[in-house]
Amino acid sequence: MISGIHFLLTYTCNFQCDHCFLYCHPFAKGVFTIKQMKDALDDFKKINSITSIGFEGGEAFLYHPLLVESVRLANERGFSTSIQTNSFWATSKEDAILWLNPLKVAGLSSLDVSDDTFHHGEKSDNNAKKAMEAANELGIEVNSICIKPPEVDDNNEQTKGDPIYLGGPKLRGRAVEKLVQGLPTRSCKEFTQCPYEDFENPKRVHIDPFGHVHLCQGISMGNIWETPFSELLKNYNPDNHPIAGPMIEGGPLQMAKAYNISHDDEYVDACHMCTKVCLDLIDQFPEYLTPRQVYGLE
């Protein structure tokens, strides 16, 4: 049963990180209106299993008044709320308190702060630290999110002792363009399942300003501006979904086989292969592989 909804409040971001799986940047299109937010939250109340609402982006704090009101509306409807942020706004602890206090009043449950080299370089006294100090002072639960750069392990028990990719950022979106070069690859025959998402019984989804319901970034269940989410969820048949179906059956490898997609013999990981296959299918399934901008095509 689905329990969480994550709003991609906007695709716009003041950063343009190499690891971003949504290709966000300062000129990216898409932001919710407050009416859309109200309509979506009211529909979610029809689904008893949904208990939490997250707000992220892009960078949600770029639209601070909208963010504050959205948190208030979600809290008013009985949902717990969280926000993910890069903390660009926390130029000092005192200033960070000014940004966070209205969210505390609105009922914010927790704050997730990106504190890594992708967002803040090697600075130890960075904006993330100031945001966390301010949240602690206000009594807001705060967590640190640290996305590590790609790592390679040369000392492993893989065949022939070849190095393996240990992970870090998901290799989707801009990460496929910026981060895969030089990483060790594995046979495509290994990628017979998705290691991250439960397409058969999703526990949470992301919803963007265009109404797309992301089972995984860029793979859509449907559009809530065309069909209310409560109906989409009720009628969702993963086996009949042109992307989820093959993924459940046999991962990115099966998706390539199902549509006779020519592919490389090796990829870094399952996300890397999935992204490449989705790019080949995007014109065939524009309703389900959307929006194009998360694939770097607009």
Res. 168: pLDDT tops 80: no
Least confident stretch, 148-152, 174-178, 215-219: 148-152
The verdict on 8 and 108 lying in the same domain is yes
Q: Is residue 175 part of a domain?
A: yes
Q: Is residue 129 part of a domain?
A: yes
Q: What is the pLDDT of residue 171?
A: 86
The answer to whether 4 and 53 are in contact (CB under 8 A) is yes
Least confident stretch, 60-64, 121-125, 170-174, 211-215: 121-125
In eight-state DSSP terms, residue 76 is: H
Domain range spanning residue 131? 4-147
The answer to whether 22 and 296 are in contact (CB under 8 A) is no
The verdict on 64 and 179 lying in the same domain is no
**What's the chain's average pLDDT?**
91
Q: What is the pLDDT of residue 116?
A: 58
Q: What is the pLDDT of residue 146?
A: 64
Residue 177: name the closest of 15, 17, 69, 43 by CA.
17
Asked if residue 107 has a cis previous peptide bond (ω within 30° of 0), the answer is no
Q: What is the pLDDT of residue 33?
A: 98
The verdict on 96 and 157 lying in the same domain is no
Average pLDDT of span 44-73 = 97
Least confident stretch, 14-28, 148-162, 173-187, 218-232: 148-162
Tell me the C-alpha distance between 37 and 224, whole Å.
11
Q: Is residue 101 part of a domain?
A: yes
The verdict on 10 and 89 lying in the same domain is yes
Res. 154: pLDDT tops 70: no
Q: End of a domain among 147, 166, 184?
A: 147
Tokens 């000014």 sit at which residue?
Answer: 98
Least confident stretch, 125-129, 149-153, 204-208: 149-153
Least confident stretch, 6-15, 108-117, 270-279: 108-117
Q: Is residue 219 part of a domain?
A: no
Least confident stretch, 23-37, 150-164, 182-196, 200-214: 150-164
Q: Is residue 92 part of a domain?
A: yes
Q: Which residues contact 256 (CB under 8 A, 6 or more apart)?
A: 188, 263, 273, 277
The answer to whether 246 and 265 are in contact (CB under 8 A) is no
Report which of residues 144 and 9 the model is more confident about: 9
The verdict on 106 and 164 lying in the same domain is no
Average pLDDT of span 24-48 = 97
Q: Exposure of 221 by Cβ count < 10 A (0-12 exposed, 13-18 middle, 19+ buried)? A: buried
Q: Is residue 228 part of a domain?
A: no
CA-based Rg of the chain, rounded to a whole angstrom?
Answer: 20
Residue 45: name the closest of 8, 10, 75, 9 by CA.
75
Average pLDDT of span 81-100 = 97
Average pLDDT of span 255-261 = 98
Q: End of a domain among 147, 171, 190?
A: 147
The verdict on 159 and 179 lying in the same domain is yes
The verdict on 9 and 89 lying in the same domain is yes
In eight-state DSSP terms, residue 47 is: -
Q: What is the pLDDT of residue 126?
A: 87
Q: What is the pLDDT of residue 162?
A: 39
Q: End of a domain among 113, 128, 147?
A: 147
- Strand bridging mode 219-223 / 266-267: unpaired
Res. 157: pLDDT tops 50: no
Q: Is residue 298 part of a domain?
A: no
The verdict on 124 and 190 lying in the same domain is no
The answer to whether 9 and 67 are in contact (CB under 8 A) is yes
In this prediction, residue 46 has a pLDDT band, given cuts at 50, 70 and 90, of very high
Tokens 């290709």 sit at which residue?
Answer: 23
The verdict on 65 and 177 lying in the same domain is no
Average pLDDT of span 180-189 = 92
The answer to whether 248 and 239 are in contact (CB under 8 A) is yes
The verdict on 73 and 176 lying in the same domain is no
- Into how many domains does the chain fold? 2
Q: Which residues contact 26 (CB under 8 A, 6 or more apart)?
A: 12, 13, 14, 16
CATH of the domain at 131: 3.20.20.70
The verdict on 115 and 34 lying in the same domain is yes
Q: Is residue 59 part of a domain?
A: yes
Of the spans 116-120, 126-130, 256-260, which averages the highest pLDDT? Answer: 256-260
The verdict on 85 and 142 lying in the same domain is yes
